[in-house]
């Protein structure tokens, strides 16, 4: 079995996790910029993080033969401070030409505030103006439905948005149809308690179709499972889905979306 | 799993014990909360309200449970009071005065 992990915060993971992922069939890992678990105090902190995502982490992954790609942004949890956001946004353009950068992400909303929305719109504008793919984080738990609606409106309000170049992540049963109906890609995140389980993910694939959906584990510094994606393949097989269906969802779908970035190139394996 | 099994039977066989276990966990959670005096937490109240979605035969129960636990407002919040989420929407009238 082969798979792509399109959303993993590998700077928070151990080398044992890299080894386990590669052993399970991982062919590429993509790492969106994320909240560190605490608020960074300055733009310099973000500069260092962007260097980590574009220089250091790809080298760490390469030791396991795993191609590593990254997405850059200011996380919505840190968007309340508009002055800091402006300083960080000014840093990003210089990093977009680095060879492992796929686009702008994971942008989005957290508590659905007016300031978060402003910073989201600035990120969308940057992505469109630089012809970058967009990876969107939708809010947690009770905030997800409202936030997903606000995010879709913000994306569609920008005349340059091309939905086929945007993936809206962390969808669940109440938000996935909203995302897919507007032509966006949808990401299902397999994450304990706060997001989705393997059985529910396969339910959504069965009811919504697998055309524009990818699965990811979003493993980070919290309780999370870097092998959640290959474990979901087991759930698919238990229900009688074919190996080709598993390959489509776990490998060909993320490959198709990510290949819209000229930086996403893999040595194809059969 | 056998070739003669219907798909419906197959999904029940695969997941029934897991679903049963989760239902009993939920019942035990509510008992645990009620063993202690005090007023109803808004999250527990929301959970109980969402439970009615399970008892009918309408489809999309998961979607309706998620919607029942969601913030139904539409306007952006003026500011973030906290960075986290609790899992259930707290109606403004039940907020304690600060
Ligand atoms: Zn993430």
Q: Note whether B76 and A121 are within 8 A (CB).
A: no
Q: Note whether A232 and A202 are within 8 A (CB).
A: yes
CA B9 to centroid of chain Cα atoms: 26
Contacts of residue B80 in chain A, CB cutoff 8 Å?
80, 110-111, 113, 116
Position B83 scores a pLDDT of 87
Three-state secondary structure call for residue B30: helix
Cis peptide before A246 (omega within 30 of 0): no
Contacts of residue B18 in chain A, CB cutoff 8 Å?
199
Q: For the domain that residue A70 is a member of, what is the CATH number? A: 3.20.20.140
Confidence bin at B2 (pLDDT 50/70/90): low
Confidence bin at B5 (pLDDT 50/70/90): confident
Decide the pairing of beta strands A166-169 and A3-5: unpaired
Confidence bin at B4 (pLDDT 50/70/90): confident
Q: How close does chain A come to B66, measured CA to CA in Å?
A: 6
Residue A222 CA, ligand 1 centroid: distance in Å: 11
Residue A1 CA, ligand 1 centroid: distance in Å: 24
What is the rounded average pLDDT for all residues in chain B?
Answer: 91
A27 touches B at CB < 8 Å: no
A174 touches B at CB < 8 Å: yes
| Residue B97 pLDDT exceeds 70 | no
Does B79 sit within 8 Å of A113, measured CB to CB?
yes
Does A150 sit within 8 Å of B76, measured CB to CB?
yes
- Residue B66 has its nearest CB partner, among A139, A172, A199, at A172
Q: Order of strands across the sheet with A166-169?
A: A3-5, A26-32, A68-72, A101-108, A133-137, A166-169, A185-189, A213-216
Residue A131 CA, ligand 1 centroid: distance in Å: 22
| Residue B95 pLDDT exceeds 70 | no
For chain B, which residues make up each domain, given as ranges? 8-71
What total of structural domains would you count in chain A?
Answer: 1
**Whole-structure pTM over 0.80, yes or no?**
yes
Sort B93 into a burial class: Cβ within 10 Å, 0-12 / 13-18 / 19+.
exposed
| Residue A270 pLDDT exceeds 50 | no
Confidence bin at B82 (pLDDT 50/70/90): confident
| pLDDT tens digit sequence for B14-47 | 999 999 999 999 999 999 999 999 999 999 999 9
* Rounded percentage of chain A residues whose pLDDT exceeds 70: 99
What is the rounded average pLDDT for all residues in chain A?
Answer: 97
Residue A106 CA, ligand 1 centroid: distance in Å: 7
Position B98 scores a pLDDT of 44
| Residue B84 pLDDT exceeds 90 | yes
Does B69 sit within 8 Å of A140, measured CB to CB?
no
| pLDDT tens digit sequence for A175-228 | 999 999 999 999 999 999 888 999 999 999 999 999 999 999 999 999 999 999
| Residue A45 pLDDT exceeds 70 | yes
Please count the residue pairs, one from chain A and one from chain B, whose beta carbons lie less than 8 angstroms apart. Answer: 83
Domain that holds residue A218: 3-269
Distances (CA, A) of A40 to A36, A87, A88, A224, B7: 8, 12, 11, 22, 51
């Amino acid at each position: 079995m082969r798979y792509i992990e399109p959303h993993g915060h590998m700077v928070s993971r151990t080398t044992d996790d890299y080894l386990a992922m590669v052993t399970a069939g991982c062919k590429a890992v993509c790492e969106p910029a994320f909240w560190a678990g605490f608020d960074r105090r300055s733009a310099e902190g973000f500069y260092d993080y962007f260097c980590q995502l574009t220089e250091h982490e790809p080298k760490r992954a390469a030791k396991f033969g795993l191609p590593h790609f990254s997405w850059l942004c200011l996380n919505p949890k840190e968007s309340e401070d508009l002055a800091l956001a402006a300083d960080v946004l000014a840093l990003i353009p210089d990093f977009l030409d680095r060879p492992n950068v796929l686009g702008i992400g994971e942008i989005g909303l957290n508590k659905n505030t007016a300031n978060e929305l402003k910073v989201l719109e600035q990120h969308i504008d940057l992505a469109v103006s630089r012809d970058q793919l967009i990876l969107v984080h939708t809010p947690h738990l009770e905030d997800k439905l409202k936030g997903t609606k606000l995010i879709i409106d913000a994306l569609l309000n920008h005349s340059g948005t091309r939905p086929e170049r945007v993936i809206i992540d962390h969808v669940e049963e109440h938000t996935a149809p909203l995302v897919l109906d507007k032509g966006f890609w949808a990401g299902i995140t397999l994450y304990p308690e706060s997001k989705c389980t393997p059985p529910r993910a396969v339910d959504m694939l069965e009811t919504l179709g697998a055309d524009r959906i990818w699965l990811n584990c979003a493993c980070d510094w919290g309780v999370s499972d870097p092998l959640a994606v290959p474990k979901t393949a087991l759930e698919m097989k238990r229900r009688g889905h074919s190996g080709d269906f598993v390959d489509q969802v776990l490998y060909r779908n993320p490959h198709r979306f990510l290949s819209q970035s000229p930086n996403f190139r893999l040595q194809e394996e059969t | 799993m056998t070739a003669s099994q219907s798909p419906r039977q197959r999904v029940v066989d695969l997941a029934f014990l897991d679903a049963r276990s989760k239902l009993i966990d939920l019942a035990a959670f509510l008992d645990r909360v009620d063993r202690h005096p005090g007023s109803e937490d808004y999250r527990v109240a929301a959970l109980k309200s969402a439970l009615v979605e399970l008892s009918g035969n309408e489809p999309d129960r998961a979607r309706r449970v998620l919607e029942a636990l969601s913030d139904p407002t539409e306007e952006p919040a003026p500011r973030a009071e906290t960075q986290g989420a609790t899992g259930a929407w707290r109606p403004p009238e039940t907020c304690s005065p600060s």
